[in-house]
Amino acid sequence: MGIKLFSPTVILIAGLPAVGKTTLAKALSAKLGVRHLYIDEDFRRPIFGQPNPDPYANPETKKAAAMEMGFAYDGLIKIGTKGHLLLGRSLIVTATFSRPLARANVRVIMVEHPEAKLKVIWCRTQRPEAEEIAEIQRRLDERKKGDYAGGCNSVGHYLDDKRRYPSMDLPHIEIDTLFLSFVRRMCRESAFLHFFITKRPYCRFCLTKISIYSMYT
C-alpha cells in the first residue's frame, strides 16, 4: 500500500518503553518510504554508549542517565527533525516524549516550518495493570536476548516512567500496541495509513477502528 506524503511530514510516535513504538515505526517507514529516527539507536547509544542497565542505582547514575537522554532529545529534535524539514523531507521519530521540554521543542520547530505537518501517534494501553505488567515483563525478557539499545530494563523502571508520564498534549491518535496480535497490528497500521487519505480511522480491509482523540487539520 503506497502513500505519498505531498507535504513534509513529521510522524512522531510516542509512548512508554516496550509498548511497541519502534515496531510500528519500522512498519510505517517501510510502507511510506520515509526515514525513521529512533532516539536510543540513532542518538543516545552512538554518542554515550550502551545505557546503564541500572540507571536508578543511585542519584549519580540517575542524573547521568537523565542528562544523556536530554542530549539525545536535542539531537533527535534539533538536528534530526529540523535537518529533515530544512531539506524538505518527511521522517518518523520515535521516543517516549514524556518530557514537556521535548514536546515544546517539537512545537517550536513546527512553528518554524509552517509548510510541514505533524502527525502524532501515542502508543499506550488501558488494559488492567496486572495484564499490562505481565506483557511488559515478557517484552523486557525478550529484549535481553537481542541487541537492545534502550535504557528501560525492568518493570519498576517502566512503572516509574508511567507515573511521571503526563497526558499527551499534542494533537494525536491513540493506538493500543501492547495487546494486539501481529495480524491486528497490521490492521492498525493499515487503518492509520488509510486515515492519511480519507480521515476515516478504519482499516480499509477489515474495518478495524482506531481511537481518534484529536482529528488532524
- Tell which phi-psi region holds residue 73, choosing left (phi > 0), alpha (psi between -120 and 50) or beta: alpha
Q: Tell me: the pLDDT tens digits for 73-115? A: 999 999 999 999 999 999 999 999 988 999 999 999 999 999 9
Smallest Cα–Cα separation from 177: which of 114, 105, 125, 104?
125
Smallest Cα–Cα separation from 56: which of 142, 125, 159?
159
On whether the CB atoms of residues 37 and 92 are closer than 8 A, the answer is: yes
On whether the CB atoms of residues 22 and 94 are closer than 8 A, the answer is: yes
Q: Look up residue 88 and give its DSSP letter.
A: T
* Residue 195 neighbours by CB under 8 Å, 6+ apart: 173, 201, 210, 212
Q: Tell me: the pLDDT tens digits for 128-150? A: 888 888 888 888 888 777 666 56
The structural domains of the chain, ordered by start, are: 10-182 (3.40.50.300)
pLDDT for 16 beyond 90: no
pLDDT band at residue 177, thresholds of 50, 70 and 90?
Answer: confident
* Residue 18 neighbours by CB under 8 Å, 6+ apart: 136, 139, 140, 143, 152, 158
Q: What pLDDT was estimated at residue 130?
A: 87
pLDDT band at residue 116, thresholds of 50, 70 and 90?
Answer: very high
Q: Look up residue 202 and give its DSSP letter.
A: B
